[in-house]
Amino acid sequence: MVFTKSSQTFQFNLLADTLREDVAHAVNIPLLDLRGEVQSETFRSTLNTNSFKFITKIRSGKNFSNSFLADTVIKWENACDVFKSSNINVVKIRIGLVLSLKGGFLKPIVMSTKFFAGTWFGKGLNIYSWIHIVDVVGAILFLVDKNSKGIYNLVAPNPVNSKNFMLEISKKLNRRIILPSVPIKLIKVLTGKMSELMIFSQNVSCEKIIKQGFEYEFKDINSALENLLK
């Protein structure tokens, strides 16, 4: 999404209206008016696809893997740089796995786990860099208010591996994991290049936005799932 000077207030209000019901549902509070004056000239969001390998930590830099998704992000972000020539601030946000029961990554996993069909892939050591929907909205508002520019990773401070992620969900739902893990080789044979969407591993740093002063409401997977699955 891009906010330009001529339409920044309208587009930001549209974003707020789109997200505010999700936020209200997630935190179990009345609908909030998230509207506000946009100070950043331009705002762009992209999916974080820096790497699908086991590495120490991905920071807000230019490290990309050689994959279709990474190539898409590179082209997507580079296209936004045209605004810089007009002295317009550009903020590129790379969003991790957003946790919300309204859709996305979490909803199908919760449904399968409720029917004892949940499990993990391989040894379950691949890292999920996740973020609660409430913190996604909060971080966007924070960056706009600060008139920020540059690249920011929107992920929670404490990533979790896929096995512990599934175990936490099963515990919250009071459902056992009875299925064996799915072998990585089988996934690659059945899905080919699309397997990267299922077995990716990202240990992403949110250090940059924290240093700017942003405070997360849900820092660990336990509190996030406790809120969403209560």
pLDDT tens-digit profile of 34-61?
A: 333 333 333 333 333 333 333 334 555 5
Q: Length of the chain, please?
A: 230
Q: Parallel, antiparallel, or unpaired: how do β-strands 97-99 and 130-132 relate?
A: parallel
Say how many domains are in the chain. Answer: 1
Over residues 157-169, mean pLDDT: 96
Position 1 in a domain: no
Q: What is the mean pLDDT of the chain?
A: 76
Position 3 in a domain: no
Q: What is the CATH number of the domain that holds 64?
A: 3.40.50.720
**pLDDT score at 24:** 41
Angle between the 106-114 and 162-173 helix axes, to the nearest 10 degrees? 60
pLDDT at 214 exceeding the cut of 50: yes
Position 122 in a domain: yes
pLDDT at 66 exceeding the cut of 50: yes
Domain containing 20 equals: 8-228
Position 129 in a domain: yes
Number of other residues whose CB lies within 10 A of the CB of residue 190? 11
Position 2 in a domain: no
pLDDT band at 31 (very low <50, low <70, confident <90, very high): very low
Among 64-78, 87-101, 144-158, 173-187, the range scoring the smallest mean pLDDT is 64-78
Position 104 in a domain: yes
The residue ranking higher by pLDDT, 124 or 38, is 124
Position 191 in a domain: yes
Share of the chain above pLDDT 70, in %: 69
**pLDDT score at 224:** 98
Name the most confidently modeled range: 18-32, 50-64, 91-105, 188-202.
Answer: 91-105
